[in-house]
Structure 1
Amino acid sequence: MKSFVAGVGMTGFVKPESREWQYWDMAREAGAAALADAGIAYEELEQVLAGYCFQPSTAGQRAAYELGLTGVPVHNVNNNCATGSSALLLARQLVEGGISECVLALGFEKMKRGALGGGADGGDFATSPVARHYGVMAAAHGFEATPPTAQIFGNAAREHMRLYGTTEAQLAAVGAKNHRHSVHNPHAQFQVEYSVAEVLASPVVHRPLTRLQCSPTSDGAAAAVVVSERFASAHGLQGRAVEIVAQAMATDTQASFASGRCIDVVGVGMTRAAARAVYDRAGLGIEDVDVIELHDCFSINELLTYEALGMCGEGESGKLVESGATTYGGRWVVNPSGGLISKGHPLGATGLAQVGELVAQLRGEAGPRQVRGAGVGLAHNVGLGGAAVVTLLRR
């Protein structure tokens, strides 16, 4: 059975505490926009998947109640930075499994200012779900007084530079590209263009990563309405619905920890496995994809993801971004929204915002950031701890 994204919506992503709202306000805004985009009422929903990381238990119900009080099941989803895409995956499974025909995936986050910590609540590493991941980092690189997430990805960047000759300028090129793309995205947290030199000159967070290569903490929400083919036909949605051709989630294996490298513990193996499963199920490959929204929490993760998705060989991603192959006029356009680095990164909403951007691109509704001729889009969302979700969409 096929599934389709019939409607998408999102708030602007903003700096925490810069807007007077609660998580249920942002969820109402994004959810109502997705329902309006699909042209359906909340009463037609059969289930709601609500994703978030930092709100309390049953926050999904509190958020969904802003949209309607119909008694439909509301399920709360928390999968670190891959929460939004995990909610979408569960919504798709409900539809493709024949359990429901119209489901809302809703993601939101109200965050605190400053860098994320290493625990589930930004706290104690001893009880952190990612203690094993940070243990690998500490054994290889020690532990410094810098933000822990930037530290583990920054150390992955150091490894990539040492192994493959990747340069600081190539890492900065990712940040420059994504900030340039976000200029045309009214929902982006940042809408300022920076040169490679300016990215390199911004304050160092954990060398070689500078501030303009790191995703910020953000407030915001995003949503998607997922429907069956029968529902789309009955409601006349075929003209705007975008098919979820294939989707897969992978988690860590022993190989993630065996090498002792940060490159492996930050999700490369998970991404590679999820991408391979998606390509096999879809009968398509990365060569068939036109536009990509991927998880650039830090510039190095965009480069690592190029390799894991098969866009280039191992160690060749620095040269790939430097060549212009991943921006307008190149082979793919990666992160036309500005990505996490510039669009922002409210954890529960990120994966759904990626899909929202791809739906706009595949419909030809992305305005000045439109990728010409976009027919197939790929979303990649990853969370340490770990989960990687890859989604292939087609109009």
Structure 2
Amino acid sequence: MARNSIRGTNHNKVYVVGVGMTKFEKPGSRDWDYPDMAREAGINAIDDAGIAYHEIGQAYAGYVYGESTSGQRAIYELGMSGIPIVNVNNNCSTGSAALFLAAQAIRGGSTDCALALGFEKMQPGSLGSTFDDREQPMMRHLLALAELQEFAMPPAPYMFGAAGREHMERYGTTAEHFAKIGVKNHRHSRNNPYAQFQDEYTLDEVLGAKQIYAPLTKLQCSPTSDGAGAAILASERFVEEHGLSRQAVEIVGQSMVTDMRSTFDDNSAISLVGGDMTRVAAQQVYRQAGITADDIDVIELHDCFSTNELITYEALELCGPGEGGKLIDNDDTTYGGRWVVNPSGGLISKGHPLGATGLAQCAELTWQLRGTAGARQVYSAATPSGVALQHNIGLGGAVVVTAYRPAER
């Protein structure tokens, strides 16, 4: 297993040296605006890194719902040093896209220190379009899916619910399997002070909640949320000069993959919601990091709906096709199992402010590898050989998969 390099490259190593986030909140429940969210998360990350804002050379600001240059307005809360600030929008994978770009800048030698910041101020209820006088970016996906399963509203639960139905028809997966994921993630969130929800539910309560689109009930769907997350990334030289190796977490593999021909040619709802994108990205990351799924201790993955978590188990090669239900029945994805998946509570219970989600995942995994995650700590992750994996997807589409390990101490 490669310890501290990305195979096949001579590029700079990239480390996460500081992370921060806000508590995720129900939209409108707190009197704040996106600059307030960005300031809180950004200052937390800068303080965690133990650096000054002026040491940051570039910044990438991610958000989905906002005006042009909202990223500048948000980051100006931290300082105004004239650095390049790039606004990023990649649907639900926006936060990890900002992380990807910041890492790319360091890996390519453009800067020694970069900020990735994501935030979102959302409206209550199901996601809707902002502009109705032009082609919707998801229209091609929706039309393709409507040929497989009758169209329903709202679009997001329809798409991921249809993928779950396909899995049930193909492999015999049950509604109870998906509901157990909701039970697990709500249970995990009890120990996360940043989570929007911290309530535990029984299997009967999850199954009996309001049905959104079968097999999905309300307690298996991520809510709209307000909040922000941030990460400070640095080069090896920056880490050494600032004495940050004890807290640094290395990005040992990272891949962004967008829709491929198979997304549409497979005639599969699972492919249309990103199953193939995830599989390809994960394989690329495993090769870069010199790991397999068996080496991973803790995973934060994009459980926008419980059906997507199960599908993602298989795309990440935690098990073979059709075997996701067995992982759930065997408790393989919670404490005491083979992996702990979504110790934060995941999107289902932690919340899903679109631009912040990928950076909140990064923060959680950084805390896990440092051994500072408190009551939700996965102890095998907080060892020199610990490995963490992040998966963040946005339809339309892009997926970012990232592997982390502690820096050499």
TM-score (normalizing by structure 1): 0.98
Q: Which residue of 2 is the match for residue 329 of structure 1?
A: 336
Say whether 1:207 aligns with 2:214.
yes
List aligned pairs for 1:363-382, cutoff 5 A.
Answer: 363-374=370-381, 375-382=386-393
List aligned pairs for 1:46-65, cutoff 5 A.
Answer: 46-65=57-76
| Among candidates 307, 310, 324, match of residue 314 of structure 2 | 307
Q: Which residue of 1 is the match for residue 126 of structure 2?
A: 115
Q: Deviations over 1:286-332 (max 9, x none)?
A: 11100000000000100010000000010110121121000000000
Distance 1:269 1:195 in 2: 32
Q: Which residue of 1 is the match for residue 9 of structure 2?
A: none
Question: Percent identity of the aligned residues?
Answer: 60
Equivalent position SS for 1:392: strand
Q: Which residue of 1 is the match for residue 39 of structure 2?
A: 28
List aligned pairs for 1:1-395, cutoff 5 A.
Answer: 1-117=12-128, 119=129, 121=130, 124=132, 127-144=135-152, 146-374=153-381, 375-395=386-406
Report the AA paired with residue 19 of structure 2.
V
Report deviation, 1:259: 2.3
Q: 1:97 to 1:76 in 2, by over 3 A?
A: same
* C-alpha contact 1:115 1:217 (8 A) present in aligned 2: yes
Distance 2:339 2:204 in 1: 24
Distance 1:126 1:192 in 2: 41
* C-alpha contact 1:125 1:131 (8 A) present in aligned 2: no
Distance 1:321 1:50 in 2: 36
Distance 1:140 1:243 in 2: 42
* C-alpha contact 1:136 1:261 (8 A) present in aligned 2: no
Q: Which residue of 1 is the match for residue 4 of structure 2?
A: none
Report the AA paired with residue 203 of structure 1.
K
Distance 1:84 1:66 in 2: 19
Q: Which residue of 1 is the match for residue 8 of structure 2?
A: none
Report deviation, 1:379: 0.2
Report the AA paired with residue 192 of structure 1.
D
Distance 1:245 1:216 in 2: 31
Distance 2:55 2:399 in 1: 30
Report the AA paired with residue 292 of structure 1.
I
Distance 2:45 2:391 in 1: 21
Report deviation, 1:126: 6.5
Q: Deviations over 1:343-385 (max 9, x none)?
A: 0000000000001000000000000000012011000000001
Corresponding residue pairs, total: 391
Question: Unmatched 5+ residue regions in structure 1?
Answer: none
Q: Deviations over 1:151-184 (max 9, x none)?
A: 1111111111111000011000100000000000
Q: 1:73 to 1:30 in 2, by over 3 A?
A: same
Report the AA paired with residue 35 of structure 1.
I
Distance 1:143 1:154 in 2: 11
Distance 2:133 2:249 in 1: 41
Which stretches of structure 1, 4 residues or more, deviate above 2 A after TM superposition? 123-126
Distance 1:312 1:284 in 2: 15
Q: Deviations over 1:186-242 (max 9, x none)?
A: 000000011111100110011110000000000000000000010011001000010
Report the AA paired with residue 279 of structure 1.
Y
Report the AA paired with residue 200 of structure 1.
L
Distance 2:328 2:398 in 1: 25
Distance 1:341 1:97 in 2: 35
TM-score (normalizing by structure 2): 0.94
Could you say what the CA RMSD is over the residues aligned between the two structures, in angstroms? 1.0
Q: 1:125 to 1:366 in 2, by over 3 A?
A: farther
Equivalent position SS for 2:147: helix
Report the AA paired with residue 138 of structure 2.
V
Report deviation, 1:95: 0.5
Report deviation, 1:140: 1.4
Equivalent position SS for 1:92: helix
Report deviation, 1:124: 4.1
Q: Deviations over 1:265-302 (max 9, x none)?
A: 00000000100100111111111100000000000100
Distance 2:280 2:61 in 1: 26
